[in-house]
Amino acid sequence: VVKAPRGSGTLPDAHRDRALRFINFLSAAVTPFHAASIGSEMLKDAGFQRLDERAQWAGQLKAGGRYFYTRTDSTLVAFAVGGGYAPGGGFKVVGAHTDSPVLKTKPLTRHGTGS
């Protein structure tokens, strides 16, 4: 886990904290399986409700609700239902994915000496 002292550097503390959380996520999410597991825990901590992908969701999804499910423990899908949503209404989907090569950070890089 990477930590930096408060009040150091030029970034405001909130930005530094966000960046460090992202770096720690990248360091821990070494495979899609790790990323989905860690992401699931983050979503649960943020108040999202886990759904079973194979179950019928009729009557379970509520306006203002936040939900997620996983597929094969390597795919994570999360979504929020708008507060004004009514059954039969439209919706928008935004997606992103990671794949090979998996997310990794190098602990050190090599720089030439210029000679």
pLDDT tens by residue, 33-50? 888 999 999 999 999 999
The radius of gyration of the chain from alpha carbons, rounded to an integer in Å, stands at 19
pLDDT above 80 for 114 = no
Q: Tell me the pLDDT band of 94, cut-offs 50, 70 and 90.
A: confident
Mean pLDDT of 18-34: 87
pLDDT above 90 for 31 = no
For residue 84, what are its two tokens? 């004004």
Number of Cβ atoms within 10 Å of the Cβ of 89: 9
Mean pLDDT of 89-95: 79
pLDDT above 60 for 115 = no
- Nearest Cα neighbor of 107 from 20, 48, 27 is 27
Percent of the chain topping pLDDT 90: 30
Question: Strand pairing of 75-80 and 49-50?
Answer: unpaired
Alpha-carbon span 67 to 44, nearest angstrom:
9
Mean pLDDT of 89-101: 71
Arithmetic mean of pLDDT over the chain: 82
